[in-house]
């Protein structure tokens, strides 16, 4: 079962126990975001932008397709 918190835009996936909170913008867990990644993903969602990922941590590594072009 999954749901989206409309207020924060955070997707919550219930996989047994515990509840895993995923970022609504990038493939990383919301809890793994540093200050820059959290701000970037929040701005990406607020502006309805389609852009890559700047997260430095998390279980999944960013691929070339996910990176922001300079």
20-69 pLDDT, tens per residue? 678 888 888 888 888 998 999 999 999 988 888 887 654 445 454 555 55
Whether the model clears a pTM of 0.85, i.e. scores above it, the answer is no
Q: 49 vs 13, which has greater pLDDT? A: 49
What is the model's pLDDT at position 59? 47
pLDDT score at 2 = 46
Range of the domain at 31: 2-66
40 or 2, greater pLDDT? 40
Q: Name which of 51, 31, 39, 52 is nearest 23 in CA terms.
A: 31
Domain count for the chain, please give it: 1
Element (H, E) at 22: strand 19-22
């Amino acid at each position: 079962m999954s749901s989206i918190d409309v207020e924060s835009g955070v997707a919550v996936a219930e996989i047994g126990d515990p509840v895993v909170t995923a970022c609504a913008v990038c493939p990383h867990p919301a809890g793994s975001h540093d200050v820059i990644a959290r701000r970037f993903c929040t701005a990406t969602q607020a502006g309805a932008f389609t852009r890559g990922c700047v997260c430095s941590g998390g279980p999944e590594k960013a691929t070339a397709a996910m990176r922001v072009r300079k």
